[in-house]
Amino acid sequence: MASSIHDLARHLNISIGTVSRALNGRADVNADTRQRVLEAARELNYSPNQSGRSLRQGATRSIAFMLQPHPGDQEYGEPFFIPFLTGLQARLAESGLDLIVVMGAPGDYQQERLRRVVETRRADAVVLAWTRREDERIDYLTERGFPFATLGRSRSGGSSYPSLDLDFEKAGSDAVDRLLARGHRRIAAIRPALDLNFGYLFLDGYRKALKRHGIEVDPGLIADGFINEAGGYQVTPRVMLAKDRPTAIIFNNDAMALGGCKALAEMGIRPGHDIAVTVIVDTPLCRYFSPALTAFRPSLEPMGRRLAEMLLASLPAFAGPEGTRIIHEVWPLELIARESD
Amino acid sequence: MASSIHDLARHLNISIGTVSRALNGRADVNADTRQRVLEAARELNYSPNQSGRSLRQGATRSIAFMLQPHPGDQEYGEPFFIPFLTGLQARLAESGLDLIVVMGAPGDYQQERLRRVVETRRADAVVLAWTRREDERIDYLTERGFPFATLGRSRSGGSSYPSLDLDFEKAGSDAVDRLLARGHRRIAAIRPALDLNFGYLFLDGYRKALKRHGIEVDPGLIADGFINEAGGYQVTPRVMLAKDRPTAIIFNNDAMALGGCKALAEMGIRPGHDIAVTVIVDTPLCRYFSPALTAFRPSLEPMGRRLAEMLLASLPAFAGPEGTRIIHEVWPLELIARESD
DNA sequence: TGTGTTCTCGTAAACGTTTACGGAAATCCG
DNA sequence: CGGATTTCCGTAAACGTTTACGAGAACACA
């Protein structure tokens, strides 16, 4: 069916070694024969078998991104990652690498799937997202010496791998500053209950900003919930029942914010009028919601490009002349002021 | 580094052939030796090299989904596909297949990327979405005899491949019926300008329903735009400037509807009050928009499962006892009445 | 002319599997 | 007990590449 390097060799009456060298642009092949090989390749519609090549070279020339759907929220997609993946893909393609997105089942937290990818050597490196504070995936990969990079920081694995994260601490702090400047004193914070690292960073920023302004942190105004709409819906009433009601809520996540607003609506509390609502990570949903939610926006597509760049810089096979480098970066979030605060 | 089948053989002092047979559960291996092999495999942390296996078997045991980001609309993700992919992945995993999502650059319409996947044999079959009326990808795949299935129908390729589509025609018709029942007579239709097949199906349903009620189809009420928010924003005023203004608009696409509503707002026209707005394919954005948009909702996750099932049934290697079957299905969309009409 | 260098190519091994084939040992059966 | 059958395993080839090695031819140079 598909033509192999042997077909080319037979067709041109030369050896497969020469064909391979010609195709791979090696120096020790006559310019004339190279020309003929390339023509024959086009004519016979040849393209190399990736399995054969991978087997020989021990490299698949592809990078895997582990995509994890939100558990328990079938209807809600993951618009967050698509622009990121677009950037990631674009940069990898420039270096001739394929991006493969490995889907996991919702909720299994990828460990099994990750093992499969690593152990069957389906990819040369992986990119992780939704990093946890203590992340077993990172432990696993560092232990095995498998190359990877992360979108998000973690305590696990030291600083032996490239990572790109958003400055959730600053965003949390800025959100508080802004609300304080607008006269709020009772500010609640709602974040995901899992060990997700950005939840800690956000809360750190929140706490520090309050303290900086001499305001005591009230544990009754901080709540953790499941990281989806249902979680926000469930947990928001809890902070609203604090003895001294908050006049503002900062949500760490768009889906939780939407659920929270639903709960507020049912309590007769109108975001933007009766209460200020701020969201840390902006998505299109925030923009279209009514009232439009004030939120902190990441530059996802450039981040994807950059993380690909950083990953490549850490791989010996792709690092430039100055050798491999492990880069860590933290990118700012941009405040998009809308109607909800 | 990673242990191979040779390591196991050496460790157990048996031949690699026996090891392979033991691992693959073939009959002609002693129960005792099989036990020892499996233990050794666990002990040495063995797992088969996918490249070697693929090379020998001529199959990668993975299915590729071609994911295409919307062009020109960086911020807007593609929440539509995630639940679909979740279902697809789940069903494939049950048959031991991996799902790999191949990202393309926005706008290149995948032809290049598809060629890469097919020609380098990175996957055993592919799943296509966003089918066009005349789809060069389908032509290419049928011509090459490469197995695939589609989410959506097409004129290309006959009925030689499994396809699962939504009943856009019925949805378009139902949408018109509903608006007519509510007293509207001037109903506009806005759909994507590309050759996307569902745009035709939708418009067919729209036209038929109008004719069925004896209402003439006014070309001035039909407009095509770029399939994103900007497209909806740009094209909506065109139908609003018809000599006899429409009192209702049906959008074929959520993003176009959102852009259209923005344009309407700027014209001082309020959806849900001054004009009825219906969307054919519901996404979370429709639910959160204000006013919440009446829309027709697909069951994406079950559709993903089903299309995987249908694809497997068409593959000789996976078809059940009754042999391979090419299945075509068209699934209904469910009307979700909200506030915008 | 003889020696050394450069250019170009063929040979063959290797990557990690699976599997067709055959053979030795064990078992069965009349 | 002898032949037939079954059980189990080793051998080796094959999948499609890449690449180390070496060899022949052409060329340069003294």
Question: A220-260 pLDDT, tens per residue?
Answer: 999 999 988 889 999 999 999 988 999 999 999 998 999 99
Q: Contact A102/B103, CB-based, under 8 Å?
A: no
Output B116 or A16, whichever has higher pLDDT.
Answer: A16
pLDDT digit string (tens) for A306-315?
999 999 999 9
Distance CA B141, CA B129 (A): 14
Residue B75 predicted with pLDDT over 80 = no
Using a CB–CB cutoff of 8 Å, tell me whether A59 touches chain B: no
Give pLDDT, residue B302. 96
Residue A332 predicted with pLDDT over 70 = yes
In chain B, what is the greatest distance between 2 CA atoms, to the nearest angstrom?
88
Instruction: Find chain A residues with C-beta within 8 A of B81's C-beta.
Output: 77
pLDDT digit string (tens) for A33-72?
999 999 999 999 999 999 999 999 999 999 999 987 766 5
CA of A37 to C1' of C9 (A): 14
Name which of B86, B101, B288 is nearest A288 (Cβ-Cβ).
B288
- At the top level of CATH, the class of B168-297 is alpha beta
- What beta strand segments (E) does B1-75 contain? 62-67
Question: Which CATH code for domain B62-166+300-331?
Answer: 3.40.50.2300
Helix, strand, coil tally for chain B in percent (to 5):
45, 15, 40
> Is the CB of residue A29 less than 8 Å from the CB of residue A17?
no
Write out the residue limits of the CATH 3.40.50.2300 domain(s) in chain B: 62-166+300-331, 168-297
Give pLDDT, residue B184. 97
Instruction: Find chain A residues with C-beta within 8 A of B288's C-beta.
Output: 258, 285, 288-290
Average pLDDT taken over every residue of chain A = 92
Write out the residue limits of the CATH 1.10.260.40 domain(s) in chain B: 5-48
Q: Which three-class secondary structure state does DSSP give residue A188?
A: strand
Query: In chain A, which residues from 1 to 20 place their CB closer than 7 Å to nucleic acid strand D?
Result: 2, 4-6, 16-17, 20
**Nearest residue by alpha-carbon distance to C1' of C20:** B17
Using a CB–CB cutoff of 8 Å, tell me whether B145 touches chain A: yes
End-to-end Cα spacing for chain A = 63
CA of A28 to C1' of C4 (A): 19
Q: Selecting from 3.30.530.20, 3.20.20.150, 1.10.260.40, 1.10.390.10, what CATH number does the domain B5-48 have?
A: 1.10.260.40
Residue B228 predicted with pLDDT over 90 = no
Name which of B50, B79, B103 is nearest A99 (Cβ-Cβ).
B103
> What topology does CATH give the domain A62-166+300-332?
Rossmann fold (3.40.50)
Distance CA A118, CA B1 (A): 12
Give pLDDT, residue A78. 65
Give pLDDT, residue A108. 67
Using a CB–CB cutoff of 8 Å, tell me whether A120 touches chain B: yes
Using a CB–CB cutoff of 8 Å, tell me whether B78 touches chain A: yes
pLDDT digit string (tens) for B181-215?
999 999 999 999 888 999 999 999 999 999 999 99
With a pLDDT cut of 90, the percent of chain B lying above it is 74
Give pLDDT, residue B272. 94
Residue the block writes with tokens 């035709």: B200
Q: Contact B77/A76, CB-based, under 8 Å?
A: no
CA of B301 to C1' of C15 (A): 40
> Is the CB of residue A276 less than 8 Å from the CB of residue A182?
yes
Give pLDDT, residue A73. 52
Q: Which residue of B has its CA nearest to A287?
A: B289
Give pLDDT, residue A67. 84
Give pLDDT, residue A276. 98
Q: Given pLDDT bands bounded at 50, 70 and 90, which one contains residue B250?
A: very high
Alpha-carbon gap: A222 to the closest alpha carbon of chain B (Å)? 25
